[in-house]
Amino acid sequence: MKQSESVYSSVLDIGTLKQAVRAAVGNAEISPVQFDALDDPPDFAVLVEKQGFIGGASAIQVHVSDDGERRLVALIALGDSGFARAWNGARNTVSFSGSQKLAAAVADAIRQHDSALQQVG
């Protein structure tokens, strides 16, 4: 599975960030991200999965780490390669471009509440 990560720095508190994520993803399925014992988990982490209208899905992970006065927000777009989508059919795979659009929508929703949002990675 392919992935692309964008990291932002925000002054919003975790509760406001959660609300912005929920508003941006609409009726998507939201579930917790599981970490193993050796990982250093963020303060808040969810997997967002959204079904497409024609078929296929979009999926992102949202990781939020409290860094004192700021929160680091990692948006990780997930998706299958073009070959996997061709082999398995678009309806049974995760669209990487759709996931990148979903991650951009979440970043835009956060930016609406935090005009000082900065991309740091």
CATH number at residue 66: 3.30.70
Across residues 54-66, what is the average pLDDT?
88
Q: Which residues contact 66 (CB under 8 A, 6 or more apart)?
A: 14, 43
What are the strands, taking DSSP E only, across the chain? Answer: 2-10, 29-32, 44-51, 57-67, 70-79, 118-119
Number of domains in the chain: 1
Order of strands, sheet of 44-51, starting from the edge strand that comes earlier in the sequence: 29-32, 44-51, 57-67, 70-79, 2-10, 118-119
pLDDT of residue 84: 46
The SS3 assignment for 94 reads strand
Where does residue 9 rank: exposed (0-12), middle (13-18), buried (19+ CB within 10 A)? middle
Across residues 15-40, what is the average pLDDT?
93
Indicate the pLDDT class of residue 39, thresholds 50, 70 and 90: confident
pLDDT at 53 > cutoff 90: no
pLDDT at 82 > cutoff 70: no
| 24, part of any domain | yes
Which of 4-13, 17-26, 79-88 has the weakest average pLDDT? 79-88
Contact between 39 and 116 under an 8 Å Cβ cutoff? The reply is: no
Its domain, for residue 11, covers 2-36+49-119
pLDDT > 70: what percent of the chain? Answer: 87
Mean pLDDT, the chain, integer = 88
Taking the C-alpha atoms of residue 109 and residue 119, their distance in angstroms, rounded to an integer, is 14
Across residues 90-104, what is the average pLDDT?
82
* pTM exceeds 0.85: yes
| 42, part of any domain | no
| 23, part of any domain | yes
Question: 23 or 2: which carries more pLDDT confidence?
Answer: 23
